[in-house]
C-alpha cells in the first residue's frame, strides 16, 4: 500500500489530462522502483543505466532498486498516477546523490507507457528544486547523445547547463545557482558546449 494522501507534496496534470502526484522517496520504496523498471523497454533501460539490461535476473534488479532507495547523502521523488489497469501506479522516479563540493549526480526514469507526456520534465524540475533546498549547487549527469527525450527535457529546465561530449555520451553540469533565461534580458544560450558541439541534440 502506498503512502497516505498527505505524503504527496507535488501535483500536476499532464497534457493528456492524467493527474500525477509526487512524494519524496523513502527507504521502503524498492518495490515501486522495481515496478517502474519492469515497465521500461530495452531502449529506456539502456539510456537510463548505460548498459544492456535484457537478461537481468529478479534478484539483481531488486538489489539495484534497493541500492537506489538507500537515501544516504541522497534524495529522491516518486510519481504515481491511476492507470487503466492499475490504480496508484508508480510511473516515474528521480534521484540525486551528493558527491561533495556542492555537487550531486542526478537521474530520471519514466515507464514507457507514460513517456512523452511531460512527466520527465516535471520530475527533473522538481528534483532540481529538492536538490537546491538540500544545498546542492550543481547537478551532474551522464547522458547518451542519441537520447533525444532527455535533451528535450533539459531544455525545459529554468537553469543553464554545460555539455561536454565524449564519444557517444555527454557529461552535463546544471547550475542550480543561476536561472535561465537571465533576468537581465541578456541572450546567453541555455546550453554551453565545451569543445565542439555534437551534430544533433
Rounded Cα–Cα distance for residues 80 and 146 (Å):
27
Domain boundaries, the chain: 5-194
Q: What is the pLDDT of residues 34-83, one digit of tens each?
A: 999 998 887 777 666 655 566 667 888 888 899 889 999 999 999 999 99
Residue found under cell 550543481: 138
Neighbouring C-alpha atoms within 13 Å toward the C-beta of 126: 26
Is residue 200's pLDDT more than 60?
Answer: no
- Which CATH homologous superfamily contains domain 5-194? Gcn5-related N-acetyltransferase (GNAT) (3.40.630.30)
* Mean confidence (pLDDT) of the chain: 88
Rounded Cα–Cα distance for residues 47 and 149 (Å):
10
Instruction: Pick the more confident residue, 190 or 182.
Output: 190
Rounded Cα–Cα distance for residues 7 and 156 (Å):
26
pTM of the full structure: 0.87
pLDDT class of 198 with cuts at 50, 70, 90: low
Which distant-in-sequence residues (6+ apart) come within 8 Å of 124 by Cβ?
A: 94, 106, 108, 153, 154, 156, 157
Amino acid at each position: 500500500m502506498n503512502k497516505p494522501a498527505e505524503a504527496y507534496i507535488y501535483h500536476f496534470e499532464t497534457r493528456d489530462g492524467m493527474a500525477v502526484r509526487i512524494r519524496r522517496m523513502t527507504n521502503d520504496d524498492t518495490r515501486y522502483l522495481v515496478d517502474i523498471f519492469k515497465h521500461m523497454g530495452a531502449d529506456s533501460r539502456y539510456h537510463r543505466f548505460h548498459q544492456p539490461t535484457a537478461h537481468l535476473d529478479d534478484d539483481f534488479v531488486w538489489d539495484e532498486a534497493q541500492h537506489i532507495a538507500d537515501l544516504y547523502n541522497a534524495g529522491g521523488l516518486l510519481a504515481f498516477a491511476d492507470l487503466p489497469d492499475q490504480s496508484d501506479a508508480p510511473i516515474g522516479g528521480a534521484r540525486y546523490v551528493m558527491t561533495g563540493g556542492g555537487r550531486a549526480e542526478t537521474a530520471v526514469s519514466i515507464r514507457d507507457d507514460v513517456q512523452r507526456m511531460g512527466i520527465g520534465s516535471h520530475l527533473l524540475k522538481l528534483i532540481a528544486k529538492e536538490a537546491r533546498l538540500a544545498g546542492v549547487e550543481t547537478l551532474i549527469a551522464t547522458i547518451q547523445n542519441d537520447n533525444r527525450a532527455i535533451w528535450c527535457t533539459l531544455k525545459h529546465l529554468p537553469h543553464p547547463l554545460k555539455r561536454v561530449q565524449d564519444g557517444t555520451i555527454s557529461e552535463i553540469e546544471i547550475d542550480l545557482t543561476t536561472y535561465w533565461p537571465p533576468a537581465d534580458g541578456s541572450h546567453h544560450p541555455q546550453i554551453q558546449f565545451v569543445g565542439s558541439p555534437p551534430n544533433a541534440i
